[in-house]
């Protein structure tokens, strides 16, 4: 296994409930390092572009409305096998199916307001990181 980076978003349902620190503790306790972090309010255009792969899905409009409903925290996480490690820490998309101890099991409200995003491949992680961060703003 090699050190790699993944992209993470703490979603509006979690910032609204002031859960940023408790979610970050989950990443750090599992060995991931937060090497870049910025609070932002996504524009509709940013949210539509970011989730563009889901454009034809029935939940797309609701997802964009949700992702622009409040502040998010944009992050780059670094560590061993970071993409897969973060997906394990997050838990299943639907919190009803998430493992105990995962972020989504403990904090998600429902399948849409599920508290965190995490890249699903190393290739997508690189694209997503570049969408939001300049190289000099990532400090490993």
Contact set with ligand ATP (CB under 6 A):
54, 59, 63, 93, 111-112, 114, 117-118, 120
Phi/psi at 66 (nearest 5 deg)? Answer: -60, -45
Burial category of 87 from C-beta neighbours within 10 Å (exposed 0-12, middle 13-18, buried 19 and up): middle
Nearest distance, CB of residue 120 and ligand ATP, angstroms = 5
How many angstroms separate the Cα of 102 from the Cα of each of 31, 47, 97, 108, 135?
14, 25, 11, 10, 30
d(CA 34, CA 49): 24
Catalytic pick among 76, 86, 117, 119: 117
Element of type H or E holding 70: none
For ligand ATP, the closer CB: 3 or 94: 94
Give yes or no: 117 in active site. Answer: yes
Are the C-beta atoms of 86 and 27 separated by less than 8 Å? Answer: yes
d(CA 129, CA 87): 16
For ligand ATP, the closer CB: 32 or 63: 63
* Catalytic residue positions, numbered: 117
């Amino acid at each position: 296994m090699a050190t790699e980076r993944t992209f993470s978003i703490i979603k509006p349902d979690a910032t609204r409930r002031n859960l940023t620190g408790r979610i970050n503790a989950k990443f750090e306790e599992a060995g991931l390092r937060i090497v870049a972090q910025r609070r932002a309010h996504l524009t509709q255009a940013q949210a539509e572009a970011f989730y563009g792969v889901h454009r034809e899905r029935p939940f797309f409009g609701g997802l964009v409305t949700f992702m622009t409903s409040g502040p998010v925290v944009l992050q780059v996480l670094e560590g061993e096998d970071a993409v897969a490690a973060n997906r394990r820490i997050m838990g299943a998309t639907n919190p009803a199916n998430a493992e105990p101890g995962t972020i989504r099991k403990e904090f998600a409200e429902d399948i849409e307001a599920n508290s965190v995003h995490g890249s699903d491949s190393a290739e997508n992680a690189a694209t997503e990181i570049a969408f939001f961060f300049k190289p000099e703003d990532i400090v490993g």
